[in-house]
């Protein structure tokens, strides 16, 4: 809840009520924790069944995608990605391209470099999660960009672009800067939205724990460019 408020840029004193969504909010302990967090016994809105809230949201989204409205009134529903999406860089870190809770559709990209001398192939390992170490996150697939010309480490540039459309499909585009060659891979919604609510919550919590226990500065002092290097 602390992370959700921080991402939204609001203080908990500004919250008047909490609408429960999803089966896990039926657990008495979860409800008790929410009340304690906000120090308010009346913070919960119990007028809507948590399971029905999920179905209503899905129905509204389906109507919007189909171009329908309700009684002539326009309904706006904003989808957000539940976890950050990025790639694994040569240092082993997670390089985030789209942060969690970002509204979709969205498009963002970053420039990366070859990590080794005369590196002719680059692997793009797409990850989803909040852990600073890439391998602690959920893998969405690994793609390869070949035909990179010889050169010193860090001399060849590759632009990696993520685009999530209104259907929640993730388009991964990789473009080499030396000849503008471009390849695109598509990751379907059922792949990057496949995690359950409990799995998402666990990944957020474990990511926060790992970030608080890792000193990045010491690891990168001897390899400054590696934070943007790809193997």
What is the rounded CA–CA span in Å between residue 193 and residue 42?
Answer: 32
Q: Locate CATH 3.30.420.40 in the chain.
A: 2-65
Residue 223 has pLDDT above 80, yes or no: no
Q: Which tens digit of pLDDT belongs to each residue from 60-103? A: 878 777 777 666 566 666 778 889 999 999 999 999 999 988 98
CB 132 within 8 A of CB 208: no
Given a contact cutoff of 8 angstroms between Cβ atoms, the answer to whether 131 and 210 are in contact is yes
Report the predicted TM-score, pTM, of the whole model to 2 decimal places.
0.71
Average pLDDT of the residues of the chain: 84
CATH of domain 80-230: 2.60.34.10
The domain made up of 2-65 has a fold known as Nucleotidyltransferase; domain 5 (3.30.420)
Which pLDDT band, with edges at 50, 70 and 90, does 107 fall under? very high
Residue 153 structure tokens: 């480490």
| Location of each CATH 2.60.34.10 domain in the chain | 80-230
């Amino acid at each position: 809840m602390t992370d959700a408020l921080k991402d939204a840029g609001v203080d908990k004193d500004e919250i008047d009520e909490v609408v429960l969504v999803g089966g896990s909010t039926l657990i008495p302990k979860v409800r008790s924790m929410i009340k304690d967090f906000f120090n308010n016994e009346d913070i919960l809105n119990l007028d809507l069944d948590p399971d029905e809230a999920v179905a209503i949201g899905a129905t509204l989204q389906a109507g919007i995608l189909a171009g329908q409205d309700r009684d002539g009134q326009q309904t706006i529903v904003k989808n957000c990605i539940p976890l950050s999406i990025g790639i694994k860089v040569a240092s082993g870190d997670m390089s985030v391209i789209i942060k969690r809770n970002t509204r979709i559709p969205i498009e963002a990209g970053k420039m990366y470099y070859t990590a080794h001398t005369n590196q002719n192939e680059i692997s793009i390992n797409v990850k989803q999660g909040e852990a600073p170490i890439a391998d602690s996150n959920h893998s969405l697939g690994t793609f390869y960009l070949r035909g990179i010309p010889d050169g010193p480490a860090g001399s060849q540039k590759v632009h990696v672009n993520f685009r999530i459309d209104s259907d929640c499909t993730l388009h991964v585009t990789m473009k080499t800067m030396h000849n503008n060659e471009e390849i695109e891979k598509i990751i379907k919604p059922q792949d990057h939205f496949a995690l359950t609510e409990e799995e998402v919550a666990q990944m957020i919590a474990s990511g926060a724990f790992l970030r608080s226990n890792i000193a990045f500065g010491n690891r990168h002092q001897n390899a400054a460019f590696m934070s943007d290097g790809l193997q």
